[in-house]
Structure 1
């Protein structure tokens, strides 16, 4: 004779809190992971743009006074990248340029030519706001007109490629951010609604015995906010653990991180969880409060 094992039955109106927390946490984790990727991609893009430079070659007969005037002029220009309040300008004398060339190639051309044909030069880092093709052409002309400047050059194709790729990446990231945010909102909202579906009779019964709408909503809304907070906190812990592991595996990754933006992202994830679960719960309860008893089945 077969023996039947009695399985535990869920109580009427029971709330699947573990499933709701897990689903909400998973959605917030994916959103946070994409946020971290976005922060790192933004920093990488900025780093690439800040390495765009213009080479300014000086006349061979230029005096020390002329070099100082050019240095002062370049330092005061808005198109020059500023870091820690200082312009990113590097002066390379023709002697330094020769030493660097000999060190890199291993050949001392001065022994053959009996002279140093290289020139004093400046390497000027350009602010990303001035890296449009038209602006760079204007900057090149302005610097070329300075007394003592022999030639101004930069790799035009490289700059054009960087600007094009930055625009494309920005569009793609914005598009995926909107799509992912919409998907997260829909997923969490549907999870909340499905969970509250099991409690529709309880909500309706409280309404029938005279409980006000605000009285009925209050415990459900408080619980939903706690779920959003807990799910967001768990997602933050997982994201920090993943980020720490990635930093150990990839040596250059910490240089792309922006602690303030990461902190803001981690703070927003629980808030996003609270907001979405609150709104989803509020809409679901309102729906069941206004349904007739026949439509609840």
Structure 2
């Protein structure tokens, strides 16, 4: 316990010695983590928006004109059994005529003497089958059922969404890694300055038999404190930015507690890693 107490005490002393460098480092770390948080919030909301879009995906299945309503119902039951299909809404000619009147404001029988609208079904898909590739497979399976004339869905739009969501995720990962790397470098250099200022003390400790882990521990504590403060500051700034954005621009912008936890934990881990790398490199050279 005395060793742990010594490490914490020395870590706090180191934190106070280079106040300007420490303040600059914490501010830079907080800014980098804030950007990471912004990308996390954006990614989370894009994922939710895409999820909402996918929930609304429907396949319009048109049946052959010469089918009776009873035969159409049998085909609807076959469609229901296709893997990936969630719900099937069977639309008779009369229902189609009502939809026509609702959408266009005119009765089909006022335009024509008969109802040319075919029997059809609207099909919704299960959660795991809402990507472009899987929707295409479900569509092909339905198209292969005897009596199905045509299957229509937003194929081009889905392909576009799938392509861009992949690019967004890739960009978020790359930018996140770059920002985290920058944060590690900033803390690494600050800890090096602290080590350099205390090089005489470190060498004396080595001479009297102090182990590497004992010497290393206060600097890791210092890095941990810097990372913790940077993470908390980033979380506070992100929370304020989200609240402001929701008030003046995007009232439905979503954020979660997990994002703020990630920022704080990331700050702590970055601080500990940067300080460990810095002091370990110095100890190898003495």
Same fold by TM-score, threshold 0.5 exceeded?
yes
Aligned equivalents of 1:198, 1:103: Cα separation in 2: 79
Which residue of the partner structure matches residue 41 of structure 1? 46
SS at match of 2:17: coil
TM-score computed with the length of structure 2 as normaliser: 0.76
Higher helix share: 2
Aligned residues: 269
- 1:41-93: CA deviations, max 9, x gaps? 2333333444443210134564555444444433343333xxxxxx2544444
Which residue of the partner structure matches residue 268 of structure 1? 262
Which residue of the partner structure matches residue 171 of structure 2? 172
- 1:146-187: CA deviations, max 9, x gaps? 344332223443344334334444443343333333333333
Report how far residue 26 of structure 1 moved. Answer: 2.0
SS at match of 1:253: coil
State which of 15, 18, 25 in structure 2 corresponds to 1:15: 18
Aligned equivalents of 2:236, 2:206: Cα separation in 1: 40
- Is the contact between residue 192 and residue 281 of structure 1 (CA under 8 Å) also seen in structure 2? yes
Which residue of the partner structure matches residue 124 of structure 2? 125
Report how far residue 138 of structure 1 moved. Answer: 4.7
Aligned equivalents of 2:243, 2:207: Cα separation in 1: 53
Which residue of the partner structure matches residue 189 of structure 1? 188
- Is the contact between residue 90 and residue 121 of structure 2 (CA under 8 Å) also seen in structure 1? yes
Aligned equivalents of 1:107, 1:46: Cα separation in 2: 35
Alignment of 1:32-111 (within 5 A): 32-60=37-65, 62-63=67-68, 65-80=70-85, 87-111=86-110
Which residue of the partner structure matches residue 214 of structure 2? 215
Unaligned runs of 5+ in 1: 1-10, 81-86, 293-297
Report how far residue 278 of structure 1 moved. Answer: 1.0
RMSD of the alignment, in Å?
3.3
Aligned equivalents of 1:155, 1:288: Cα separation in 2: 60
Aligned equivalents of 1:167, 1:28: Cα separation in 2: 23
Aligned equivalents of 1:137, 1:290: Cα separation in 2: 59
Which residue of the partner structure matches residue 234 of structure 1? 233
Unaligned runs of 5+ in 2: 1-13
Aligned equivalents of 1:281, 1:188: Cα separation in 2: 7
Aligned equivalents of 1:55, 1:208: Cα separation in 2: 81
Aligned equivalents of 2:267, 2:152: Cα separation in 1: 52
